[in-house]
Amino acid sequence: MYFDHAATSWPKPPEVLAAMQACLERAGGNPGRSGHRAAVEAHRTLREARRKVAGLLGGVDPDRVVFTLNGTDALNLAIKGAVRPGDHVVYTAADHNSVHRPVHALMLRGVITSTCVDVDGDGVVDPDEVRCAITGRTRLVALPHASNVTGVIQPARDVIRAVHEHDALVLLDAAQTAGVLDLKVGEISADLVAFPGHKALRGPTGTGILYVGPRADLQPLREGGTGGESDSPLQPEALPTRMEAGTPNTVGIAGLSAALDVVRPETALAHERALLRRLVSRLEEVRGIRVLGPADVERRVGVLSLTIEGVDPQDAAAILDESFDLAVRAGLHCAPNLHRALGTYPSGTLRVSFGVSNTEAEVDALAEALKQIAAQT
Ligand SMILES: Cc1ncc(COP(=O)(O)O)c(C=O)c1O
């Protein structure tokens, strides 16, 4: 029983597998590189996928959709591409290391300065604190749309409104919300939106997306072959090629494209919240189990962290795996600053994350296993 969808969703829809196989069989050329049919078909596959992602984002210009390796790659392209020497970056204690580490690396190199905005006891960012952290030099403010530790949804619109009172850009890390929450850029107004294709969107690993809005002027992180303008030593100016040097992951993107046809964000969110509600109510009476984050599941995506008094999360995860055949994740979940704020540093938490394939019976089995582990201490 698989409860680690926040790391990557699994199993993938059969349509994804079929599309990847069909791509290898029929669209095996290198997109944008040659004029023969296999290359043209590969190019068409990419264009179609870009159009679908643009639709998911509320009908943005497909050329502003950049395919990346994963969520981390999209965040790196956004952060390192947006800042210039002397800039200031604001991020939050709720951020994943995929934001924290690139920001930290730029600081160590003396390129930027930064401010980390704290969170409250539920891991929520206060828009006023973000407003206070912005200086005349702030180029970029990064915010996770929802936490990968507690699943709590951040007040993104309020934060973005606060940031846009200034000149700064907003980078929304939608790793845990793409595929479950509305990502219409026209409504949330983020300048840059980064997300993997392999979590709730249910595409294969090796896929990610960066939406680059009109206010953002990104320097490419990688230069190289794009198939066009070959006589120039310069990376092309136009998106998406500007940010997509090298042969793309056509097979993975074909799988993602098929996933986008079957993913139903609203249904997925309702299903995951129903499972959350069930698990929380099953655990309420269990002595020694503490569920982190807000009690109201409407404030969460399908991710939940808990601790069991007297049991190290790693040990609990190993017991769940070996004795109960239940796959969860234990530890800091790449978000150490959030654990400091939640009081769960350094051992972290046990994280349960749901996907559309999970059932009520599986949740009951998980609750029963957790009860037994808690009873043994
Ligand atoms: C909030 C958040 N940001 C970024 C990432 C990185 O995404 P990826 O694993 O696709 O690199 C994750 C992955 O778990 C995440 O949860």
Class of domain 265-375: alpha beta
Cα dist from 273 to 7, 115, 269, whole Å: 18, 33, 6
C-alpha angle 190-60-172 in degrees, rounded to nearest 5: 20
Residue 33: the pLDDT is: 82
Structure tokens, 135: 């200086």
DSSP state string for 336-350: HHHHHHHT-TTT-EE
Q: How far is the CA of 70 from the centre of ligand 1 (A)?
A: 8
Residue 191: the pLDDT is: 98
Based on the residue annotation, tell me whether 334 is a catalytic residue of this protein. Answer: yes
Q: How far is the CA of 213 from the centre of ligand 1 (A)?
A: 21
Sign of CA dihedral 102, 198, 338, 82: positive
Asked if the model's pLDDT at residue 27 lies above 80, the reply is no
Ligand 1 mutation pick, 92, 98, 201, 249, max ligand atoms within 8 A of CB: 98
Query: Residue range 194-218: average pLDDT?
Result: 98
Helices 37-56 and 14-26, interaxial angle, to 10°?
150
Closest ligand 1 atom, residue 148 Cα:
16
CA dihedral in degrees (128, 130, 136, 140; nearest 10)? -150
Residue 365: the pLDDT is: 98
Ligand 1 mutation pick, 148, 153, 171, 337, max ligand atoms within 8 A of CB: 148
74 — pLDDT class (breaks 50, 70, 90): very high
Q: Give the whole-number percent of the chain exceeding pLDDT 70.
A: 100
**Nearest CA residue ID for atom 14, ligand 1:** 7
Residue 285: the pLDDT is: 86
**Nearest CA residue ID for atom 15, ligand 1:** 175
Closest ligand 1 atom, residue 198 Cα:
10
Closest ligand 1 atom, residue 74 Cα:
11
Q: How is the chain split into domains, by residue range?
A: 14-262, 265-375
34 — pLDDT class (breaks 50, 70, 90): confident
273 — pLDDT class (breaks 50, 70, 90): very high
Q: Is there a contact between 8 and 200 (Cβ–Cβ < 8 Å)?
A: no
Residue 295: the pLDDT is: 86
pLDDT tens for residues 247-263?
A: 999 999 999 999 999 99
Q: Which of 42-51, 124-133, 168-177, 333-342 has the lowest mean pLDDT?
A: 333-342
Q: Hey, do 14-262 and 265-375 end up sharing a CATH topology, with the first three levels equal?
A: no
**How many C-alpha atoms does 132 have within 13 Å on its Cβ side?**
9
Query: Residue range 127-148: average pLDDT?
Result: 98
Q: Give 70's contacts (C-beta < 8 A, 6+ positions apart).
A: 196, 198, 205, 206, 207, 208
CA 166: distance to chain centroid?
A: 26
Q: How far is the CA of 196 from the centre of ligand 1 (A)?
A: 7
Closest ligand 1 atom, residue 334 Cα:
14
Residue 35: the pLDDT is: 87
Asked if the model's pLDDT at residue 355 lies above 80, the reply is yes
Query: Residue range 215-243: average pLDDT?
Result: 93
**Nearest CA residue ID for atom 2, ligand 1:** 175
Q: What is the mean pLDDT of the chain?
A: 96
Q: How far is the CA of 174 from the centre of ligand 1 (A)?
A: 9
pLDDT tens for residues 93-105?
A: 999 999 999 999 9
**Of 192 and 27, which is predicted with more confidence?**
192
Q: Where are the alpha helices (DSSP H) in the chain?
A: 14-26, 37-56, 71-82, 97-108, 127-133, 156-163, 185-188, 250-262, 265-283, 313-324, 336-342, 360-375
Ligand 1 mutation pick, 100, 147, 176, 332, max ligand atoms within 8 A of CB: 176
Query: Residue range 236-241: average pLDDT?
Result: 95
**Nearest CA residue ID for atom 16, ligand 1:** 148
Q: What backbone torsions phi and psi does residue 135 show, to the nearest 5 degrees?
A: -120, 180
Does CATH number 3.40.640.10 belong to domain 14-262? Answer: yes
Query: Residue range 167-195: average pLDDT?
Result: 96
Closest ligand 1 atom, residue 147 Cα:
1
Q: Which of 28-32, 200-204, 270-274, 302-306 has the lowest mean pLDDT?
A: 28-32
Cα–Cα distance for residue pair 88/183, rounded to 1 Å: 26
